[in-house]
Amino acid sequence: MHNHTASADKVVPGTTLSIADPGYVATCRERLDADGVLVLRGFLPRKVVDRVVAESSGREREAHYTRSTHNVYLTPADPELAPDHPFNRQVASSKGLLADDQIPADSPLRDVYADPTLRGFLCAVLGIDGIHPYDDDLSSINVHFAAAGQELGWHFDNSSFAVTMLLRAPDAGGVFEYVPDVRDADAGDMGFDRVGAVLDGTTPVATLDHAPGDLVLFRGRNALHRVTPTEGTTTRMLVVFAYNAEPDVGLSESALQTFYGRTA
């Protein structure tokens, strides 16, 4: 049993607060609701981050690389609309990733992902009744690589929340930028004018201030966001802890093929 994260009484580093403490949880929930983002600084101790980087960085060549252009909605273009309509404007994304079945069985990332205290915290802060792994072998824990020139173009996420942790920052670039409340997916508001302004660079954007080991909760369904191109020889590394609010949800075979180049 590996216990890198001292689950039962986890103290938020640099504070006396615990992610099991109801007052702290309430504060975090308010912050996430207000800002659409929450950063738990120093969540994973530096020594453990270093171990994860050591176990993963040599495996960059085993990652599955994809390069695509897409609209911000991650949907096919609409030929009825002009090519420069905000629905059809294309951005570029390129990255490499290690799928869940490529993460070592004894990786500290598995302890974090399974940690019952963390899962309880996420449910409380996100306002969901349950939190479950993906029902496929690839999607739950992913390590993303972005070498020089690789970037994620502006997009909205399909999922309502994401849990990520930077593992290694590049020398420059690789900055997470976001603009809250650009669309309202549930109300059917596509936010075309706001999307166009962000793509034109005429809207101020927020920059996420996060360091390796910080745990980030981000609501990316209505917040437009991107990761700028990595600059320099240090590859950006980030882990995505993917959960579902419902049990028994897996990605479709075609989605698995798109993301991982395989289905099992």
Ligand X SMILES: O=C(O)CCC(=O)C(=O)O
d(CA 101, CA 30): 35
Spatial separation of the C-alpha atoms in residues 94 and 14, rounded to whole Å: 36
Q: Which stretch binds Fe ion (CB under 5 A): 110-118, 123-131, 155-163, 246-254?
A: 155-163
**Closest to ligand X by CB, 4 or 144:** 144
For the bound state, the minimum distance from the C-beta of residue 164 to ligand X, rounded and expressed in Å, comes to 5
> Considering the rule CB under 5 A, would residue 177 count as an interface residue with Fe ion?
no
Residue 60: name its binding partner from Fe ion, ligand X, none (Cβ under 5 to 8 Å by kind). none
The verdict on 220 binding Fe ion (CB under 5 A) reads yes
Whose Cβ is closer to ligand X: residue 121's or residue 156's?
Answer: 156
In the bound state with Fe ion, the residue whose beta carbon lies nearer, of 4 and 144, is 144
Query: What minimum distance in Å lies between the beta carbon of 151 and ligand X?
Result: 10
3-state secondary structure of 108: helix
Shortest reach from residue 209's CB to ligand X, in Å: 12
**Please, what is the minimum distance in Å from the beta carbon of residue 208 to ligand X?**
7
Q: Which is nearer to ligand X, 125 or 237 (CB)?
A: 237
- Give 71's contacts (C-beta < 8 A, 6+ positions apart): 77, 87, 88, 89, 90, 91
Q: Which does 176 bind (CB under 5 to 8 A by kind): ligand X, Fe ion, none?
A: ligand X
Q: Burial of 11 by CB count in 10 Å (0-12 exposed, 13-18 middle, 19+ buried)? A: middle
Buried b (16+ CB within 10 A) or exposed e, 45-82: eeebbeebeebbeeeeeebbeeeeebbbbeeebeeeee
Report the residue number whose CB is nearest to Fe ion.
157
The residue from 21, 60, 157, 231 that contacts Fe ion (CB under 5 A) is: 157
Query: How large is the C-alpha radius of gyration of the chain?
Result: 18
Burial class (CB in 10 A: 0-12, 13-18, 19+), 178: buried
In the bound complex, what is the minimum distance in angstroms from residue 58's beta carbon to ligand X? Answer: 20
36 contributes a contact to Fe ion by CB under 5 A: no
